[in-house]
């Protein structure tokens, strides 16, 4: 009897955890869609987070994201190679610069502007040091 109760409790905990990851994944997906339309809000990081959450909660939704014609290729490149395409890097840098510029319009204290600049620079450096995606074997045509 005790084993059965433990098994039921374990299944309930697993279902609760999966539901939490699913809800978090949906929130990340909504934020990514919003970020696609707002120039100062990123979308890629939210897509990556959504795929991670769906990987722990719903393999079907994760597969949909990875197979999606728009979202899929950059997500697969990130998962397989830790790579960001040049166009994505450029978009990230422009977004960071615009976001920091808007931040400066608020006339923050000098120390806060310096701290924010350090974080923006660290993010830009991280993005810049990610490799470009390598062509896949299917993309290379035989001559």
pLDDT band at 143 (very low <50, low <70, confident <90, very high): very low
- Sequential DSSP letters for 67-85: H-TTTHHHHHHHHHH----
Higher pLDDT, 71 or 117: 117
How much is the mean pLDDT over the chain?
A: 84
pLDDT tens profile 22-57: 999 999 999 888 887 876 677 778 888 899 999 899
**Placement of tokens 């990123």 in the chain:** 42
What count of residues does the chain have?
143
The predicted structure's pLDDT at residue 21: 93
Whole-Å CA distances, 83 to 4, 35, 65, 66, 88: 46, 20, 17, 15, 10
Task: Please provide the distance, in angstroms rounded to a whole number, between the alpha carbons at the two ends of the chain.
Answer: 67
């Amino acid at each position: 009897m005790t084993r059965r109760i433990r098994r039921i409790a374990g299944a309930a905990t697993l279902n609760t955890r999966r539901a939490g990851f699913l809800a978090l994944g949906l929130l990340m997906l909504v934020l990514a869609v919003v970020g696609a339309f707002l120039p100062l809000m990123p979308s890629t990081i939210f897509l990556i987070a959504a795929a991670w959450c769906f990987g722990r909660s719903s393999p079907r939704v994760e597969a949909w994201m990875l197979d999606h014609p728009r979202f899929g290729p950059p997500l697969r490149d990130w998962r397989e190679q830790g790579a960001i395409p040049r166009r994505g890097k450029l978009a990230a840098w422009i977004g960071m610069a615009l976001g920091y510029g808007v931040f400066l319009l608020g006339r923050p204290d000098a120390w806060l502007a310096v701290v924010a600049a350090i974080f923006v620079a660290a993010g830009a450096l991280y993005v810049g040091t990610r490799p470009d995606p390598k062509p896949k074997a299917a993309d290379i045509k035989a001559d």
